[in-house]
């Protein structure tokens, strides 16, 4: 029998099957092999007892992906939730989530909640103009007044979606609206911080109709781009992949270098998107510097006895060439005025 882990509680794995939820434990063999099983995993069950609805997990089906913090397997799409007010849309954070979705190759859906307390059409238009133009699906909702919920439902069908976004934007409330009950605890936004009190503790796959699962997460806690190289940031911005680039420079960051082919793309980029792009590149640069320092340390150790001076010269050269690269980069305003 095959099923899907929807909840884990200490040693117990709650597996949804055609016959209902089966309370399962890991086979000793799996424990000995240190096999890990996560919420969202598809598993094979043995020794099923239909009186007690208990069984043992004998193996885990290869997973398509595994999200960390919280660990959820086989996620197919990410619903990035923002609020139109209280707290208002944080474009940088939103672009971060979008870029992370691109990195993990998961489809993002942009949900703007609390439309009941912000009817500013201009603001909605701005959001629409930035993101719909890029091809992202977006939806305006009110978990409170249940608007947009029926449009959100079909987006979730046949998917395992995780909801992410800052606390207080209404993720738990949206799930409650979708399942039509108040099974998830929500918390009021505190006036001081404009952020909701953190109430989502464990992660659970919630079954909606038609094979659709949804996960309420406490949000990703690590969002900084300090794990990839600056040249890879452009792959996370759909503006660059939507158009063909013939940039003649190798390893170009496309941030206004003289003669860079991406100038047209950058000029058309919405300011908030461009700012995020620049910001993420800076974060990635710190990472690049860190690893080049580390590799330099290793190099120094290896070559120290043989040729101390060589290593020093090469390290200076590197730093000098990096400085030169930076000098050739113009700011957006400069080349916009040309």
Binding site for Zn ion (CB under 5 A): 247, 252, 254, 260, 262
| Site residues (CB under 6 A) for ligand GDP, limited to 190-209 | 196
Considering beta carbons, is residue 264 or 316 the nearer one to Zn ion? 264
Largest interatomic CA distance in the chain: 77
- Among 17, 65, 187, 325, interactor with ligand GDP by CB under 6 A: 187
Q: Report the partner that residue 114 touches, choosing among Zn ion, ligand GDP, Mg ion, none (CB closer than 5 to 8 A by kind).
A: ligand GDP
Cα distance between residue 99 and residue 281, in whole Å: 12
When CB distances to ligand GDP are compared, the closest residue is: 170
Considering beta carbons, is residue 184 or 229 the nearer one to Mg ion? 184
Residue 116 as a binder of ligand GDP (CB under 6 A): the answer is yes
Residue 256 as a binder of ligand GDP (CB under 6 A): the answer is no
Considering beta carbons, is residue 95 or 172 the nearer one to Mg ion? 172
83 within 8 A of 77, measured Cβ to Cβ: no
Q: Report the partner that residue 168 touches, choosing among Zn ion, ligand GDP, Mg ion, none (CB closer than 5 to 8 A by kind).
A: ligand GDP
Residue 87 as a binder of ligand GDP (CB under 6 A): the answer is no
Considering beta carbons, is residue 134 or 144 the nearer one to ligand GDP? 144
Q: Report the partner that residue 260 touches, choosing among Zn ion, ligand GDP, Mg ion, none (CB closer than 5 to 8 A by kind).
A: Zn ion
Q: Report the partner that residue 24 touches, choosing among Mg ion, ligand GDP, Zn ion, none (CB closer than 5 to 8 A by kind).
A: none
Kindly report the three-state secondary structure assignment for every residue of the chain: CEEEEEEEECCEEEEEECCEEEEEEECHHHHHCCCCCCECCEEEEEEEECCCCEEEEEEECCCCCEECCCCEECCCEEEEEEECCCCCCCHHHHHHHHHHHHHHCCEEEEEEECHHHCCCHHHHHHHHHHHCCCCCEEEECECCCCECHHHHHHHHCCCEEEEECCCCCCHHHHHHHHHCCCCCCCCCEECCCCEECCCCCCCEEEEECCCEEEEECCCCCCCCCCCCCHHHHHHHCHHHHCCCCCCCCCCCCCCCECCCCCHHHHHHCCHHHHHHHHHHHHHHHHHHHHHHHHHHHHHHHHHCCCCHHHHHHHHHHHHHHHHHHHHCECCHHHHHCC
- Among 19, 29, 61, 117, interactor with ligand GDP by CB under 6 A: 117
CA dihedral (232, 236, 241, 247) positive or negative = negative
Rounded least distance, CB 232 to Zn ion, Å? 14
Residue 161 as a binder of ligand GDP (CB under 6 A): the answer is no
| Site residues (CB under 5 A) for Mg ion, limited to 181-210 | 200
CA dihedral (271, 272, 274, 279) positive or negative = positive
Q: Report the partner that residue 27 touches, choosing among Mg ion, Zn ion, ligand GDP, none (CB closer than 5 to 8 A by kind).
A: none
Build a one-symbol-per-residue string for 66-105: x at contacts with Mg ion by CB under 5 A, - elsewhere: ----------------------------------------
Residue 172 as a binder of Mg ion (CB under 5 A): the answer is yes
Rounded least distance, CB 147 to ligand GDP, Å? 8
Q: Report the partner that residue 135 touches, choosing among Mg ion, Zn ion, ligand GDP, none (CB closer than 5 to 8 A by kind).
A: none
Positions touching ligand GDP (CB under 6 A) are 113-114, 116-117, 142-144, 167-173, 186-189, 196
């Amino acid at each position: 029998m095959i099923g899907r882990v929807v909840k884990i509680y200490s040693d117990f794995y709650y597996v949804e099957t055609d016959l209902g939820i089966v309370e399962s434990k890991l086979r000793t063999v799996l424990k000995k092999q240190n096999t890990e099983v996560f919420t969202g995993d598809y598993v094979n069950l043995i020794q099923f007892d239909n009186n007690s609805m208990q069984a043992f997990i004998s193996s885990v089906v290869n997973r398509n992906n595994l999200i960390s913090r919280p660990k959820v397997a086989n996620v197919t799409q990410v619903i990035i939730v923002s609020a139109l007010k209280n707290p208002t849309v944080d474009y940088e954070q939103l672009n971060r989530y979008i870029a992370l979705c691109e990195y993990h190759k998961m489809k993002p859906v942009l949900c703007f909640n609390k439309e009941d307390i912000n009817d500013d059409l201009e603001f909605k238009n701005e959001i629409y103009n930035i993101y719909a133009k890029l091809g992202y699906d977006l939806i305006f909702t009110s978990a409170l007044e249940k608007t947009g919920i029926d449009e959100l439902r079909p987006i979730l069908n046949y998917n395992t979606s995780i909801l992410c976004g800052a606390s207080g934007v209404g993720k738990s409330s949206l799930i409650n609206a979708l399942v039509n009950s108040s099974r998830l605890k929500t918390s009021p936004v505190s006036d001081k911080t404009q952020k909701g009190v953190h109430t989502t503790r464990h992660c659970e796959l919630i079954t909606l109709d038609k094979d659709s699962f949804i996960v309420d997460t406490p949000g990703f806690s690590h969002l900084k781009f300090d794990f990839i190289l600056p040249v890879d940031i452009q792959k996370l911005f759909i503006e660059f992949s939507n158009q063909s680039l013939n940039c003649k420079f190798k390893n170009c960051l496309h941030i206004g270098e003289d003669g860079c082919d991406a100038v047209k793309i950058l000029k058309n980029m919405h300011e908030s998107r461009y700012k995020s792009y620049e910001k993420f590149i800076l974060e990635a640069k710190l990472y690049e510097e860190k690893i080049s320092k580390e590799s330099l340390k290793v190099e120094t150790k290896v070559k120290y006895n043989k040729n101390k001076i060589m290593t020093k010269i090469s390290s200076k050269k590197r730093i000098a060439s990096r400085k030169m690269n930076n000098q050739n980069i113009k700011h957006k305003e400069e080349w916009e005025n040309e």
